[in-house]
């Protein structure tokens, strides 16, 4: 596994869980599915610059990064907006 990917895995996993939790009702407690993780990884890849620009310093977990991106939806790049929309819808 490439060294840069290894360093990013904790952040990717955290965002994956974050995005997965955004799609669940508050009372539901489930593990993210492989599909949810794939969508989250896509958001990380596509939205990397927007996350650094708008969400720098936001702690991963609890939906905070996804919420930050959604709050800046009008300003993020169109491809990021699309990836985020796909990740938070079923």
Q: What is the arithmetic mean of pLDDT over 50-69? A: 88
pLDDT at 6 over 50: no
pLDDT at 68 over 90: yes
pLDDT at 76 over 70: yes
Could you report how far apart the first and last alpha carbons of the chain are, in Å?
30
């Amino acid at each position: 596994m490439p060294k840069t990917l290894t360093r990013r895995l904790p952040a990717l996993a955290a965002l994956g869980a974050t995005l997965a939790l955004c799609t669940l009702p508050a009372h539901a407690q489930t593990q993210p599915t492989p599909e949810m993780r794939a969508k989250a990884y896509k958001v990380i890849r596509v939205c990397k610059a927007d996350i650094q620009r708008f969400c720098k310093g936001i702690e991963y977990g609890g939906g905070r990064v996804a919420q930050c991106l959604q709050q800046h939806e009008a300003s993020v790049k169109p491809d990021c907006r699309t990836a985020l929309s796909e990740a938070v819808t079923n």
